[in-house]
Structure 1
Amino acid sequence: MPSNKKQKEPKDAAVESVEQSSKPSQDMASKTNDSKTNKPDDVKKPNPPKPPYIVHRSRDGLKLIKSFHLEDNSVCSKEIVLVKSEDKDDRVENVCCSEDGEFVAWCDKNSIKCLRFDSQEIVFDQPNDTRSNCLAISPRSTKLITFNTMAAGDNLHFWDLTTQKRLTSMPFKKASQWKPIFSMNEEICLQHINSELVIYTSGNFEKPKHRLTQLKVNAFSLSSASFEPTQTCQHIYNKRVKHKNHYIAIYSVGVKGGPSIVKIYKYPNMVDCVTNKSFFKADSVKFSWSPSGSSMLLICQADFDKCGKSYYGEQSLNYLNVKGDSYFVKLPKEGAISHIEWYPSCDQEMFICVYGLMPAKVSLFNNKCEVMFNFGDQGGLFNETKFNPFGNLLAVYGFGNLAGQMCIWDFEKKKLISSMKVPETTGIEWCADGKHLLTSTTAPRLRVGNGFRLWHYTGSLIYENVGHSDPNQNLELYDVIWQPRPNLYKRPKIDSKATSHPNLISQSKLSKFQGSAGKYVPPSERNAASMTKPSYMNSAIGLTAGNRPIVGLESLTLNNTTKAGSRKAKKNKGNPDKTDKGQQQASAT
């Protein structure tokens, strides 16, 4: 072969080596040479995905923080300021991210804007003449919805995100239900208006395609809708977009002593229900669909507990699926249901439930509503859980009014990986890579110590940015959100190796909270570790305060001991041996 011939590409060389290895006439030397040309180092490795941004909204404005800098292995070292607020008039009212991770939208009193993450390009910019203070992006990033909670008249607006054209405006009264519910493929859009369910199709919001009027609608839920928050099931985003079956669950309160009812319809047939279930103890319900959209959990809440066990009413958990099966989930421990969460998979149906009086139980159930495993048996106070996007790591934590203990579990092996204490925490989110977590303290829930921290699942604190404990010097932080990055990362391998970033827990404000609490020491003894422990009961001088007897109570202990000895002697009057022993004890005292 001529020496000036270009070297073949690694892919061609690999194919050639396979063809040559199939020929029996080749010797071992040629096979060895071919294998040397096919080293893994010769094949170009794909570039690692860009780390997700952190959306940071505070009193000072809105900015994007680059979470991990691959060039120098730094954390949160680069910021992009989008809005800088000088006073209350130009403060950012709200912010949201699109479910596909392409856009971030925000609004203030002057304008409504939307930016593309990758190119930092403003793709939507309109004046906020409607004074909207809430906004949302449809699942496929084609529509932008804005809402004004304080205005009458046309306060709900639909925009085309590409053309920046306002599609329609309409009045909406219930601020708690303002957000329209889109299916993941945006085929249908649902709204709850005046006890009726209104369904729009094909992006036409001028006139509804269907209107459910034969049943009074108190609440509803769509099986193919987005999850809240959107980071929960982002690795199955493409699968859920392809779902063509849309099941709609309708809840109607019972009238004149009749039972409440839940009916499930399969769109577009809104006349005949697929399945239904009646409840006598259900003044309100909470729906939770599985990621596959074929099963759902119902938390039924009764306002009054007739048994008088709870001041807050009575709760029950029920399981339904579209095949018509239904189960009453029997919880082994009495108490309120704090949290339920489905395993993020379209193939396996399991769910976590946090229930019972404190310390609450954290149990894993299968689709037959049978307990498979208990996560909270190792001790601790927990009220919520959160799966990473891939479902192989589970965070079990107690935030809000609890002490802030957080445990990370290997879900597949049911093994505890790490445990840390993060007090005064109001929010937690998993990163799209499935290995890092973000914990935050935000206003208005707490107005002191606002900030956020980044953690590795092994328990290492890799970044901390926490404000002052003085409310006058504290930076009010309103939102800290991971950028969703669906179908970009691979399922992480779980091991106990520490991250490449240094662990900052020893330098953090949290260092004093880590480890066991130890034995409780009364306040009077905390500053007297070097002194002799005071004796509160001294048989010689009676009750004491420290080493000094309390005036008037010197003989209290002695009299009690003498009386106890005399009573014991009367009791053992018929037994000389016991009487002698009682007299000896009394004389000793």
Structure 2
Amino acid sequence: MNCNVGRTPEGIQLLTIGEQEPKGICGTGSAIMCTEDGSRLLSAFQGSVRLVDLDSAEAVTEVQEEGVVLSSLSNTGAFLVTCQRPGKAEDGSPAKNLKGWGRGEGRVWDLATGACVFSHAAKQVNKDSWPLLHWTSDDQAFMHVVTNTVHVYGRSDGFSAYRKVTIKGIGGLALSPVPFGAVTTNTTPQQPQPLPLLAAFLPEVKGSPAGAGIYALEGAGAVLVPEPQPLVRKSFFRSQGAKLMWNSRGSACLVLSYADFDATNQSYYGEQKLHYLPADPARSDEAVTVPLPKEGPVHDVQWSPTGDYFITVAGFMPAKVTLFNAACKPVYDLGSGPYNLVRWNPFGRFFAIAGFGNLPGDIVFYDKKTSGTCKQMGAVRSPAVSAEWSPDGRLLLTATTAPRLRVDNNIKVFTYHGEERLHQRFETLLEARWRPAPRGAFQDRPQSPERLEAVAKGGEAVVAAPTKPSYVPPHLRAAGVSSVAPNPRFNLARDEDDKPGKIKTGSGRSALPPGAEFVAAGNGKAASKNAKRRARKKGGAAGGSDDPEGDGAVEGDEAAEGPSPSGAPAALAAEQAAAAVASTSLQGSQHSAVSQSAGEMDEEARQKRIRALQKKQRQIQELKDKISAQGDKALTPEQREKLASEKAILDELASLGA
């Protein structure tokens, strides 16, 4: 049974698909937190924190605690961590407080008994740094960061003492889900599993770069290492903080570093970079900055629940979506579009990419095959704020909530191929989530055979996202024009040059920085200018500052050589030699392109050649406009040569089908 838990100003409600009215669970509380099996709900009230049974809506355990503002559950749900508002110390002096930052007392409660097992006075607690305690996967230990040190508390002694691990400059940490190389996680309080690996973020200090490292906390004989050395480390600049994300296998960690200020002045929202750290020290040389295919911010990145792939949504709009394997190799290009969010279903089979917030709300559903190929299952448009897959992996919940949006608050549920199953409106909705299910309650299932058969027969087409009518300017509306054909080369939502598909490896070319393009020898503007410069030197020219292309550009080497005497024979010889080189290069490239267009050229190379020829055609048209304005005496020999090649360019475009 799929149920949604929604939080409104009136209270927390349980909404079951197929039922009209929500079921009230409890009064107004804090953010929704459910136990791992979905049987109980944690809700903070004034003066207490209650554990409520979701079926009977009755309180099972109640912890008396005043002024709780932050709370969280341990990984297994056995312990509750709470933090109070800043208050006064015992001597009556006011605690330090600055806009919610100050002293707060954190406590750990055993939910089985309702007793406090650990308390600590913490400074500078806020939502960005919460939770302060990092639990191992079996809840047998937790870690707490202080200055240059990590304190490790164990459950065996009731969390009464800690052991120190020194990591200088540590600013944040994340524990791997399982210890590196672990096969099983079946443990008991008497025989806890080894401590997991620790990923730490190290901020910039006195001009030294920031960085992230992976540390092993235990050595031979399961002895805690007091000052461990990083197994893998990656340094990077321009970073104020980082989000550390382990995969479910504990074999790799992604580090999303961010800065509030973009040094390149290209983004108002700061700067983000994504880095990859393998857990195996034998692969430490593979710690790299993830080679994203497009410049711009990193909108979202998510590991598959199986830990074998991750998806990035990055780049200036339209953002580029790419599937990487666990070794940080790009395997599938999902194209570009108005997207800023990606969500995997619990089994890592289906995923959805969406564009929420100030984007139109397009949602596209994909089925990831074992080979890494991704097949689109459907699409829909639903503006929202959040998205989450159901525990059975078949339904996607989207929610429009306050205070992000004050109007049209609602919950929608879609199938994995985009069919709407539920639409529930609210006056004010603060949060919406799926009710968790016990582990093993659902099994991974592919697309239903009935739907695959219907699609194959054409009886059920893929659900397509609706499109808005094109904008018509007011002066054309008055003339009775109802639609205007859009410019196919101008689209802020999608890049028409994108060709989604499997990314080929082993092409023989080295990786280039983002935004750079590979230029073959003898082709391109830069290569042409270099050829002309070498021809002038070979002809004995003393150099000059005039521009052979007529576009105002001046080569660095030419400017350094100084001006040449007017009317020098060497300069004339250099111009003739440059013209001969340019003509030979043009004829050679045309001959090569014609031979390829006869059957040896693939579609990608054909489109690239067409774009290059169209660019030359535009340059020729600019030269014709220049002749009309200034006469043909203003042209250089190279420009005359380019004009003479117009017929050959048109013939080649016709042969390529352009």
TM-score by length of 2: 0.61
1:482 to 422, 434, 441: 434
Kindly state the Cα deviation for residue 64 of structure 1 after the two structures are TM-superposed: 1.8
Q: Quote the residue 1:211 is aligned against.
A: 164
The amino acid that maps onto 2:409 is N
Q: Quote the residue 1:44 is aligned against.
A: none
Q: Quote the residue 1:344 is aligned against.
A: 305
Q: Which runs of structure 2 are paired with 1:142-221 in the superposition (5 Å)?
A: 142-151=78-87, 155-173=105-123, 174-176=125-127, 177-179=129-131, 180-194=133-147, 196-202=149-155, 207-221=160-174
Kindly state the Cα deviation for residue 494 of structure 1 after the two structures are TM-superposed: 0.9
Listed one character per residue, the Cα deviations across residues 51-82 of structure 1 (whole Å, up to 9, x for unaligned) are 14321110111122223xxxxxxx23354312
C-alpha distance in 1, partners of 2:120/2:195? 28
C-alpha distance in 1, partners of 2:382/2:196? 40
Listed one character per residue, the Cα deviations across residues 249-275 of structure 1 (whole Å, up to 9, x for unaligned) are 122223322232323222333422322
Q: Quote the residue 2:505 is aligned against.
A: none
Does the aligned pair in 1 maintain the 2:3–2:435 contact within 8 Å?
A: yes
Listed one character per residue, the Cα deviations across residues 523-547 of structure 1 (whole Å, up to 9, x for unaligned) are 45558759999xxxxxxxxxxxxxx
Kindly state the Cα deviation for residue 198 of structure 1 after the two structures are TM-superposed: 2.1
1:515 to 461, 466, 480: 466
Kindly state the Cα deviation for residue 345 of structure 1 after the two structures are TM-superposed: 0.8
Kindly state the Cα deviation for residue 299 of structure 1 after the two structures are TM-superposed: 2.1
User: Structure 1 residue 333 and structure 2 residue 294: aligned?
Assistant: yes
User: Structure 1 residue 322 and structure 2 residue 279: aligned?
Assistant: yes
Q: Which runs of structure 2 are paired with 1:97-496 in the superposition (5 Å)?
A: 97-118=34-55, 120-128=57-65, 130-151=66-87, 155-173=105-123, 174-176=125-127, 177-179=129-131, 180-194=133-147, 196-202=149-155, 207-224=160-177, 244=194, 246-268=196-218, 269-273=225-229, 274-302=231-259, 306-310=263-267, 313-324=270-281, 325=284, 326-346=287-307, 349-377=308-336, 380-412=337-369, 413-423=373-383, 425-467=384-426, 475-485=427-437, 486-495=439-448
Kindly state the Cα deviation for residue 414 of structure 1 after the two structures are TM-superposed: 1.2
Aligned residues: CA RMSD:
3.3
The amino acid that maps onto 2:201 is Y
Unmatched tracts of structure 1, length 5 or more: 1-50, 68-74, 85-90, 227-237, 468-474, 500-510, 534-566, 573-589
Does the aligned pair in 2 maintain the 1:64–1:79 contact within 8 Å?
A: yes
C-alpha distance in 2, partners of 1:350/1:532? 43
C-alpha distance in 2, partners of 1:311/1:198? 38
Listed one character per residue, the Cα deviations across residues 450-490 of structure 1 (whole Å, up to 9, x for unaligned) are 121111112111111123xxxxxxx2211111111132101
Q: Quote the residue 1:12 is aligned against.
A: none
The change in CA–CA distance for 1:570 and 1:93 in structure 2 (over 3 A counts) is closer
The amino acid that maps onto 2:326 is N
The change in CA–CA distance for 1:383 and 1:497 in structure 2 (over 3 A counts) is farther
The change in CA–CA distance for 1:312 and 1:494 in structure 2 (over 3 A counts) is same
C-alpha distance in 1, partners of 2:407/2:357? 14
Listed one character per residue, the Cα deviations across residues 95-114 of structure 1 (whole Å, up to 9, x for unaligned) are 31122323211012143211
The amino acid that maps onto 1:465 is Q
Q: Quote the residue 2:558 is aligned against.
A: none
C-alpha distance in 1, partners of 2:108/2:315? 43
Which region of structure 1 is more displaced relative to structure 2, 57-66 or 321-330?
A: 321-330
1:80 to 23, 26, 33: 23
C-alpha distance in 1, partners of 2:471/2:482? 18
The amino acid that maps onto 2:12 is L
Does the aligned pair in 2 maintain the 1:458–1:496 contact within 8 Å?
A: no
C-alpha distance in 2, partners of 1:329/1:212? 30
Listed one character per residue, the Cα deviations across residues 204-258 of structure 1 (whole Å, up to 9, x for unaligned) are 56544223345122111111289xxxxxxxxxxx977777450111222233222
Kindly state the Cα deviation for residue 117 of structure 1 after the two structures are TM-superposed: 3.5
Which region of structure 1 is more displaced relative to structure 2, 481-490 or 174-183?
A: 174-183
C-alpha distance in 1, partners of 2:482/2:331? 52
TM-score by length of 1: 0.68
Kindly state the Cα deviation for residue 351 of structure 1 after the two structures are TM-superposed: 1.1
The change in CA–CA distance for 1:352 and 1:240 in structure 2 (over 3 A counts) is farther
Q: Identity over the aligned pairs, expressed in percent?
A: 28
The change in CA–CA distance for 1:528 and 1:225 in structure 2 (over 3 A counts) is farther
The change in CA–CA distance for 1:275 and 1:570 in structure 2 (over 3 A counts) is closer
Kindly state the Cα deviation for residue 519 of structure 1 after the two structures are TM-superposed: 2.5
The change in CA–CA distance for 1:160 and 1:313 in structure 2 (over 3 A counts) is closer
The amino acid that maps onto 1:393 is F
C-alpha distance in 1, partners of 2:436/2:142? 22
The amino acid that maps onto 2:107 is H
The change in CA–CA distance for 1:52 and 1:194 in structure 2 (over 3 A counts) is farther
Unmatched tracts of structure 2, length 5 or more: 88-94, 96-102, 188-192, 219-224, 453-462, 485-626, 633-658
C-alpha distance in 2, partners of 1:440/1:207? 42
C-alpha distance in 2, partners of 1:385/1:570? 56
The change in CA–CA distance for 1:528 and 1:489 in structure 2 (over 3 A counts) is farther
The change in CA–CA distance for 1:357 and 1:462 in structure 2 (over 3 A counts) is same
Does the aligned pair in 1 maintain the 2:244–2:255 contact within 8 Å?
A: yes
